Amino acid sequence: MTGVDDERPRRDAGVPVVCSACGGDGYTAQPQLTVLDGIPQTGVAAAPCTWCGRTGRRRGIHAHD
């Protein structure tokens, strides 16, 4: 017979949640200077998310007894 504790998530594991920095995409918007037809504009390039390492998930909620 297995104990109830075996089926419970580990306390230090946490629950994976969507990364709040990239919204789960794994990439964040990186504004850059762009020149189109001689007109300087703000362009957007995708940069890897440094919060979650491009996974789009982070450890979030921690259960307490």
The footprint of Zn ion (CB under 5 A) covers 19, 21-22, 49, 51-52
Name the β-bridge partners of 52. none
The residue (of 20 and 34) whose beta carbon lies closer to Zn ion is: 20
Amino acid at 45: A
The residue (of 14 and 21) whose beta carbon lies closer to Zn ion is: 21
Closest approach of Zn ion to the CB of residue 45, in Å:
16
Name the β-bridge partners of 45. 30
The pair of three-digit structure tokens given for residue 26, joined into one six-digit string = 């794994």
C-alpha 37: how far from chain center:
36
Closest approach of Zn ion to the CB of residue 59, in Å:
12
